[in-house]
Structure formats: structure tokens, C-alpha cells
Amino acid sequence: MEKGVHFRGYNGPGWHSRSQLEDYSLTPSGRRKAFEIGNDCWGLSATGVHGTEKLPPGKGRIILGLTMLGNLDHGVLLHYRKGGGDYGDSFYSKGDLTRLREWVKTAHDDLFPVGLYIPFETAWKAVKEFIETDGQLPRSIEWVAGNDLPADAFPDP
């Protein structure tokens, strides 16, 4: 399995250790530091999950990712996806779903529903679990399937 990370301007192989990421989630100064480069989106990915690394793309190779969208006022929106082979999973962190039609504009001018944001400390539990389980869907938080969200949850900016 080949791991990759996109975090604070670094885009490369491997996953950061829990200790490298923890401060960004659990302390106000760490959160400010995470946003200081003008980005609010980070991610962890893996290609060739479950022994499929030798299979070609589109021919059974399994990929997964955990995207983290941060907002200092609303917390973190997590998006877990697993695709390839027989998988086509997409899950979002479950916040206050009554706020799905309230949106936050990201640093890249995309609109995301406030109802999918969860507190930084809660999101950290899921990120830590994702790393510890080599990319399994974290069970430490509640998720909502992408297919269960209303079509207008993600409007065009």
C-alpha cells in the first residue's frame, strides 16, 4: 500500500505521524498555524489497499482517502472515500444535519454545508483512528453516506 499526504504545503509520500498532526487539531495556536499558509484543506490517501497495489488503475486497484476541510469557526468536515474494485464508498462527518443548507466558503471559494462540520477535537479522534487502522473508516465519530445527502447540500459557488 502506497500512502500519501497533503498537509500545510507538503505533498508527498507517507503519512505524517500522529504527533506531527495532533497539535494542529487540539490547540488554538496549532489551528492558527495550520491555516497560516492560506489553505484549509488537507488529506491522507492510500493506493493499493488490501493487497491491490500491483493491479492497474481501474482494474481492481483500491484507493482510499480522508480529506479534512477546516474552518476556525465551525471545526472540521471530514470526507472518507474508498474506491476501486467493488468499492464506491463516500462518507462525511455527521455534524448538525439541520444546518445542511447553511454553507461555509472555503479558501478555494467552494461552498460546504455547515451541518457536516464537527469540533476539531472530535475530528482528531477520527484522523488518529484512520492512521492507526491503516485507513479503515473510523468508528469514533458518526458518518453520513454521501448518497444520503440531499442533492443541494453542495451548491455551486
Closest CA to 96 of 116, 125, 80: 116
Residue 146 DSSP class: G
**Helix %, strand %, coil % for the chain, to 5?**
30, 35, 35
Closest CA to 114 of 135, 129, 93, 99: 99
Query: Is-contact 71 117, C-beta < 8 A?
Result: yes
Per-residue pLDDT of the chain (157 residues; tens, 9 = 90+): 999 988 766 677 787 766 667 666 677 777 777 777 777 888 999 999 999 999 988 899 999 999 999 998 999 999 999 999 889 999 999 999 999 999 999 988 899 999 999 999 999 999 999 999 999 999 999 999 999 999 899 987 6
pLDDT at residue 33 in the model: 72
